[in-house]
Amino acid sequence: MENGIASTKGEGFLSRMALNDNKAGMEGLDRDKINKIIMESSKGSRFYENELKREQQVNQRIEKMMLQKAQITEQQLKKAQAQVEKVASALVRSRDLSRVIVHVDMDAFYAAVEMRDCPELKDKPMAVGSMSMLSTSNYHARKYGVRAAMPGFIAKKLCPNLVIVPTNFDKYRAVSDEIREIFADYDPHFQPLSLDEAYLDFTDHLDHRQSWPESSRTHHFRASSTATGEEQSELPQEALPEVKDLSPVLFEDSPSTSPCLLGSGGGGAFEVFGTSVEEAVREMRFRIEQKTMLTASAGIAPNMMLAKVCSDKNKPNGQYRLPSTREAVMDFVHGLPVRKVSGIGKVSEKMLNALGISSCSHLGQQMALLSLLFSETAWHHFMEVSLGLGSTYIPRHEDRKSMSTERTFKELSKAEEQFSLCRELCEDLAEDMKKEDLKGKTVTLKLKNVNFEVKTRALTLLCAVATVDEIFAVAKDLLKTEIENESPQPLRLRLMGVRISAFVSSDDKKPLQRSIIGFLQPGKTDSSGSIQGMHQNPEKEHLTNHSLQTWTLTCPPPVQKCQKQEEVPWRSKQKGLEGGQTGEEPKQSFFQRAHAKRLQLQAARSSTQEEGHGENVSVINSIDSDAQKGVESSSKGHKSTASDLPENDFVEAQASTSGCGGTASESLTCPVCFRQVETTDLNVFNRHIDQCLSESSGKPNRSTDSDSESDLDLDIVRNGCKVLEKWREECEVKEAKNSEELETNRVDPQWQHGLKNYPTQTVLLINGDKETVTSQQPQSCNDKGPVFICPVCQLTQDTDDLTVFNHHVDLCLNQEVLHELGGQTSSRINPPPDTNSKAIDRGHLLPKQTSKGKSKRKDSPSSPPSKRAKGFGPHNTIDRFFR
DNA sequence: ATACATACC
DNA sequence: TACTGGTATGTAT
């Protein structure tokens, strides 16, 4: 049984089961001994058997992959190499080193909190969790191989003296709130990953910090408590000569931090921090420690992926900065084990290992092969990793996509008991949903049998549901089906869970108050362009007026503009770099442009020294403004339903350039020449606009790859946008809307799925109810007639009826976008005064989570006893069934 | 849309 | 005795 299983890794145990020692605090352990104990504790258990099975599945996957690999021809590899180089050079040109991203991570968070509050634990190996599962362990325990996600009983075998402390979530949450307050001082838009971890963009803080007086960079040692929570505080500051020692002695071998510039003026000991990044981060960590008596580690790097790796480097209680140079980044990445990269887990690691890839430099060397063996998303990700690329902006925390609750228990085989447990889960879930005012359409039942085999069964309803009865009705049916399928054998369950997803905003209003800002027409997916599309140089952007295209714009960070062509490590030298942008690059949707624009703005913020940005930014702003107005205008007072304006709600007609208050008329106003075009035929109108644009821009018709032509292209874009802006200003749209918010949700999907090629986007001028809307009309690029893709949900709509489509987009906008707009720019939103007040639920519009204070999200799971675990342990469920 | 797998904490 | 719970996302169908 053992042979063949571990063969890939050449170890005598299952790789799935073995100690994961690549995390902090696990260096230099006696791995073999530890693994032996782990195996002995596990062998023969149902869990182990299941792990065996899954291991085999993975091995089969690997075998399949190796077979595939064996069949790859030299030819294919060459071709792949060319493709890979093309993508790589585009990626590399997009490298943005201008941001300063910080990843902060509390050290052994739960364990540290418990140690702080119970000094006796300080010198002992301890872990937080239960005999069944540990959340985390202190560094002392880690020496024995005791770590997070290890069952307590095994940990006990590794370390008989281990003290296991039950989780105390409320406490961790409270501490989390404290540290988040500090985070917010450095980046109000920081993104928490869990209770103890966050990404911060320090760029702006550092800008400001340069001009700060020392007093603003001075922080005092805490007037503090002893380590026991009991006798809190009251100690005068003067009583703290050795302040450092007040922190719990979590780590004997902590890397020491920078020398302290201790002062001890009137108010007690203090420290003045400098203006550099390192000092700023050190200051933040200092403040965390003073405030919570807990230490944090941090990584500083030009992007999120690297920052995360860096935060691990000098953990615990340390920090590491990766300089923002291409060389430093590439050096860093060179020796980096792939497993260290967030997103590459056990399985990916094993597959890569099978290909001889263990470090990121290998990744780069094998990209052509990888591109043939892995999905596009996967190898693109690998490629970014190998180039040391990652997100340079921190995405706003998105709304949750699902909510679930699940519970593990002793074997449960009786149907009635299963049903009543199911009901309980639904009750809990409904309660949670109520807290967040959610309604979802998809209910998923999760079952795990005593052999640890997991099954999920889902059903999507036509309407969103939220109540216990509604959810249970579905879950019960799903469960019933499973029971029936198994009968006459019973289901022998060890876990049940209920999940709800496909949320719909809970107020079921008429989704009609908003009109549309942009529409898309599907193009052919351009697989070769997906990455390039996101990373084009501004100078590579072009404005085609070919066919019906009137304007498109991609707006990658401008920093690239000044960068030298970067060498792709694995590219073959003989090839030129003409690639990257051929004429086939994808056109971008409104949302995509808005996203790109934001990237650019962010980059521009910190790189004003680079020439040419002002232009770029202003161009983009003007576009953005148009879009903003469009959104906003449609947001207020627009009550017309799709049926009110069968077509014009989607593509509303503009009666005049200045009035903006007129109703739909027989003519449309050209945004370029401002003349009325006497037609209602949108194709005619578009042709007119195209004509105008091409006249005003000189030669907009040419896409180019050469840098020398880029300015021309930009001019074209800018000119086009300027007229649009002028036109827009005349429309007296009062309220601007932040279009960034509109695309936020779409950022990741775009990134990951690649850009579609939207061949034709035509700007239309539109006049809705008193307001102006800029819209892009879907045009048929073929003869089959228009196909509509919703710009919000990006699903192709199975209709060619504008009214129907319009209605759909309204719905989507309402559900996914409007509340965000409300949250972000609430002060600028006038609540609909009258009948519409119901259409936008302002309560719902408000941000659910602010950067400070309580988070309503269910944070940081990583911890066994769930939020509901209180008084309701895993194994005592059954007696409740019969109450 | 559904099911399952992987990943993260 | 005993191997979590919550969320997101990718892959395959």
A795 touches strand B (CB under 7 A): no
* Structural tokens at position A657: 């350039």
| C-alpha separations of A855 from A87, A397, A843, A852 in Å | 39, 12, 16, 8
Q: Which nucleotide is nearest to A860 (CA to C1')?
A: B9
Cα–Cα dist A233/A20, whole Å: 40
CATH label of the domain that carries residue A390: 1.10.150.810
Can you give the pLDDT at residue A212?
98
DSSP letter, residue A120: G
Give backbone dihedrals phi and psi of A650, rounded to 5 degrees, phi first: -85, -55
Is residue A386 domain-shared with residue A408, that is, in the same domain?
no
Residue A337 lies in domain: 75-96+325-397
A460 touches strand B (CB under 7 A): yes
Can you give the pLDDT at residue A657?
25
Is residue A305 domain-shared with residue A171, that is, in the same domain?
yes
Q: Read off the pLDDT band of A446 (50, 70, 90).
A: very high
Which residue is closest, via its CA, to the C1' of C12? A375
The domain boundary residue, chosen from A480, A503, A526: A503
Is residue A419 domain-shared with residue A497, that is, in the same domain?
yes
- The rounded percent of chain A whose pLDDT value lies above 70 is 51
**Residue A642 domain-assigned (yes or no):** no
**Residue A289 domain-assigned (yes or no):** yes
**Residue A145 domain-assigned (yes or no):** no
Q: Across A300-309, A501-510, A862-871, which has the greatest mean pLDDT?
A: A300-309
Is residue A343 domain-shared with residue A446, that is, in the same domain?
no
Compute how many other C-beta atoms are within 10 angstroms of the C-beta atom of residue A241: 10
The domain boundary residue, chosen from A397, A426, A454: A397
Cα–Cα dist A629/A725, whole Å: 10
Cα–Cα dist A389/A386, whole Å: 8
A793 touches strand B (CB under 7 A): no
CATH label of the domain that carries residue A482: 3.30.1490.100
Nucleotides of C under 7 A from a protein CB: 1-12
Is residue A414 domain-shared with residue A393, that is, in the same domain?
no
Give A104's strand partners.
A198, A298
Is residue A212 domain-shared with residue A347, that is, in the same domain?
no
pTM, to two decimals:
0.62
* pLDDT of A882 over the 50 cut: no
Q: What DSSP string describes A613-680?
A: HHHHHHHHHHHHHHHHHHHHHHHSS----TTTSTTTTTS-----TTT------S-EE-TTT--EE---
Cα–Cα dist A105/A325, whole Å: 24
Which residue is closest, via its CA, to the C1' of C4? A864
**Beta pairing class for A319-321 and A402-412:** unpaired
Q: Which nucleotide is nearest to A152 (CA to C1')?
A: C2
Is residue A303 domain-shared with residue A347, that is, in the same domain?
no
Cα–Cα dist A854/A174, whole Å: 9
The domain boundary residue, chosen from A382, A397, A412: A397
Is residue A208 domain-shared with residue A274, that is, in the same domain?
yes
Domain count along chain A: 3
Nearest CA among A674, A677, A701 for reference residue A688: A677
Cα–Cα dist A510/A816, whole Å: 14
| Secondary structure element (H or E) that encloses residue A814, with its range | none
Give backbone dihedrals phi and psi of A232, rounded to 5 degrees, phi first: -30, 140
Q: Which amino acid is at A396?
A: R
For the segment A151-168, the average pLDDT, to the nearest whole number, is 97
Is residue A415 domain-shared with residue A468, that is, in the same domain?
yes
* pLDDT of A268 over the 70 cut: yes
Is residue A426 domain-shared with residue A445, that is, in the same domain?
yes
For the segment A412-430, the average pLDDT, to the nearest whole number, is 98
Q: Which nucleotide is nearest to A442 (CA to C1')?
A: B1
Can you give the pLDDT at residue A331?
97
A862 touches strand B (CB under 7 A): yes
Q: Read off the pLDDT band of A276 (50, 70, 90).
A: very high
**Residue A537 domain-assigned (yes or no):** no
CA of A608 to C1' of C8 (A): 36
CA of A613 to C1' of B3 (A): 48
For the segment A707-734, the average pLDDT, to the nearest whole number, is 24
Give A337's strand partners.
A359
Q: Please write down the HEC assignment for all residues of A276-305.
A: CHHHHHHHHHHHHHHHHCCCEEEEEECCHH
**Residue A436 domain-assigned (yes or no):** yes
Q: Which nucleotide is nearest to A43 (CA to C1')?
A: C3
Nearest CA among A748, A632, A591 for reference residue A191: A748
CATH label of the domain that carries residue A295: 3.30.70.270
Q: Which nucleotide is nearest to A444 (CA to C1')?
A: B2
Give me chain A's average pLDDT, please. 65
Can you give the pLDDT at residue A223?
73
* Structural tokens at position A706: 């050469």
CB A160, CB A167: distance < 8 Å: no
A77 touches strand B (CB under 7 A): no
A305 touches strand B (CB under 7 A): no
**Residue A274 domain-assigned (yes or no):** yes
- The rounded percent of chain A whose pLDDT value lies above 90 is 47
Can you give the pLDDT at residue A497?
98
* pLDDT of A5 over the 60 cut: no
CA of A521 to C1' of B9 (A): 40
Q: Which nucleotide is nearest to A446 (CA to C1')?
A: B3
**Residue A817 domain-assigned (yes or no):** no
Can you give the pLDDT at residue A411?
98
Quick: pLDDT tens for A502-548.
Answer: 999 755 432 333 322 222 222 222 222 233 333 322 222 222 222 21
CA of A350 to C1' of C9 (A): 20
Cα–Cα dist A381/A341, whole Å: 11
Is residue A422 domain-shared with residue A388, that is, in the same domain?
no
Quick: pLDDT tens for A601-621.
Answer: 333 333 333 322 222 222 222
Can you give the pLDDT at residue A340?
97
A485 touches strand B (CB under 7 A): no
Residues in chain A: 883
Return all residues near A564 (Cβ < 8 A) that are at least 6 apart. none
Assign A434 to helix, strand or coil: helix
As separate numbers, helices (DSSP H) first and strands (DSSP E) second, chain A gives: 27, 21
Return all residues near A67 (Cβ < 8 A) that are at least 6 apart. none
Is residue A104 domain-shared with residue A86, that is, in the same domain?
no
**Residue A592 domain-assigned (yes or no):** no
Which residue is closest, via its CA, to the C1' of C3? A151
CB A116, CB A294: distance < 8 Å: yes
